[in-house]
Amino acid sequence: MSKKPALAKVEGSRHREAPFLQERERYLRHCAELGATPGSLCIKRNELIWVARLLPATASQGVDVSLLHEIARKRASMHTGVTMEYRMIAAARPWLRFLGWWREPIIVLPFQGHLDRYVKWMRDERGFTPSTVAQWQSRTTQFLQWCVDTDRRLEDLQPDDIDAYFIQNASRWGRISMKGVMGALRIYLRYSAMQGLCDSRLAAALRTPRVYTQESLPYAPRWTDVQRILATTATDKPADIRNRAILMLLSIYGMRRGEVVALRLDQVNWAGRTLHVFRLKRRQPQVYPLLPTVAEALASYIDTVRPPASAPQIFLGLHAPHRPLTPQAVFDLVNDRFKALGIEAKHRGPHALRHACAARLVDQGLSLKEIGDHLGHHSASATMTYAKVDMRALREVGDFDLGDLSWN
């Protein structure tokens, strides 16, 4: 006689008798609605039983990362296994977030209040775009943290201190990057001087390095390396089926990672065999022919792998809750392929595949205007860098066929 019914009865009893029953059941129903598999739900349920038993009765008032690690260590001490602690944290944190009980760790910087006021000034008084505010906030944070680490006070800074900052970071920045950092720092120092927080001469002392137009070649991996990367996804694993479609969009259409994660189901016209892409730099839609190989990859992912979720975005996480992929997730999957294959490259992210697409188009003889249109460049100057790459005789863009990726 099978022992499975008896075992299921015992497991059900453990589930019902553990604390926070309603909270656990609400979360498990939520995961099921998002498409979690029965096996995944079983693992979550069992882990949450342990979490619930070890949580204090005051858990609803908030659980922080130190308490969660303490609970996980207690669980790990009861059972052997190197992954026990990790598994418990991976199960507990999303549950606690769902309940609103999770306390995100707060990193308090000694200059946080000052930085917050500067961000507010950039956003509300200067009207900078969110992307500019975020970028300059990051660069200013790095500079202020350097001041703290080197025991420098803002009010005592001299031009020599600013020079020391750039000298220390010179190996990390090229001239173009340094120009961007200096631009952001100049605005910040002007703001600080207006607030009476530093010497007004500091901003004027910054000397931006000269940047020559088209001074560097665009980096692009060889197309044979792109083919090797694509070949790694030729399996029936769900992650590979999804990632193959993503890699094709990056390398064939030269899409930016932000454009890939924003791509929606309604932007694929299966009947008309077209792909509608909203180009981020141009701020306008662009229509491409949906090539057979790309259509097959997209259809395979959408029909067999994509979780049944309400999100309109095409690319979702494979594990519940099935949220749309982030640009960082796309970067990681490309970067991991470069590393796994041992491809030596200056850049190993999605933009390297975009450059590979451009280099391939140059090699096929397309004009700079055609390449710029294909890549969705905002201006012709963005495409001019590819003029330095040796070009073959031009041919009409209508004759260009991306084929089935079996290019030599």
CB atoms within 10 A of CB 258: 15
Range 264-267, long-range pairs (CB < 8 A, 24+ positions): 264/312, 264/313, 264/314, 265/302, 265/312, 265/313, 265/314, 266/312, 267/314
Q: Are 62 and 101 in contact (CB under 8 A)?
A: yes
CATH 1.10.443.10-classified regions of the chain = 223-399
Q: Among the listed ranges 84-93, 112-121, 237-246, 335-344, which one has the minimum average pLDDT value?
A: 84-93
Q: 69 versus 376: which is more confidently predicted?
A: 69
Say whether pLDDT at 386 is over 60. Answer: no
Q: Is 364 helix (H, G, I), strand (E, B) or coil?
A: coil
Phi-psi region of 235 (alpha: psi -120 to 50; beta: other; left: phi over 0): beta
Tens digits of per-residue pLDDT, 231-247? 988 888 899 999 999 99
Out of 139-143, 210-214, 365-369, the most confident range is: 139-143
- Average of pLDDT values for 41-69? 88
pTM: 0.49
Q: Among the listed ranges 49-58, 71-80, 114-123, 192-201, which one has the minimum average pLDDT value?
A: 71-80
Say whether pLDDT at 346 is over 50. Answer: yes
- For the chain, give me the number of helices (H) and strands (E)? 18, 3
Q: Are 385 and 372 in contact (CB under 8 A)?
A: no
Q: Which CATH architecture has domain 112-205?
A: Orthogonal Bundle (1.10)
Q: Are 68 and 89 in contact (CB under 8 A)?
A: yes
In whole numbers, what is the pLDDT of the chain averaged over residues? 78
Longest dimension (CA), the chain: 87
Q: Are 366 and 400 in contact (CB under 8 A)?
A: yes
pLDDT at 187: 92
pLDDT at 373: 62
pLDDT at 408: 43
Say whether pLDDT at 4 is over 80. Answer: no
Beta carbons within 8 Å of 142's beta carbon, 6+ residues apart? none
Calculate ∠ Cα 97-98-104, nearest 5°: 15
Tens digits of per-residue pLDDT, 11-24? 567 778 889 999 99
Euclidean distance between CA atoms 47 and 66, whole angstroms: 18
Helix H, strand E, coil C: the string for 226-267 is HHHHHHCCCCCCHHHHHHHHHHHHHHHCCCCHHHHHHCEHHH
Tens digits of per-residue pLDDT, 277-323? 876 655 667 788 888 888 999 999 999 889 888 888 999 988 877 88
Residue 272 phi/psi, 5-degree rounding, is -85, -5
Residue among 173, 149, 171 at smallest CA distance from 161: 149
Phi-psi region of 7 (alpha: psi -120 to 50; beta: other; left: phi over 0): alpha
pLDDT at 299: 92
Q: Could you tell me the fold of the domain covering 223-399?
A: hpI Integrase; Chain A (1.10.443)
pLDDT at 210: 59
pLDDT at 73: 83
- Residue recorded with tokens 């069992």: 46
CATH 1.10.150.130-classified regions of the chain = 112-205
Share of the chain above pLDDT 70, in %: 77
Q: Is 119 helix (H, G, I), strand (E, B) or coil?
A: helix
Q: Are 226 and 251 in contact (CB under 8 A)?
A: yes
Beta carbons within 8 Å of 55's beta carbon, 6+ residues apart? 19, 20, 63, 71
Dihedral sign computed on CA atoms, order 185, 131, 117, 147: negative
Q: Are 191 and 118 in contact (CB under 8 A)?
A: yes
Say whether pLDDT at 203 is over 60. Answer: yes
Residue among 104, 78, 102 at smallest CA distance from 91: 102
For strands 284-289 and 268-269, give the pairing: unpaired
Euclidean distance between CA atoms 165 and 147, whole angstroms: 9
pLDDT at 178: 78
Euclidean distance between CA atoms 353 and 158, whole angstroms: 43
- Average of pLDDT values for 160-172? 83
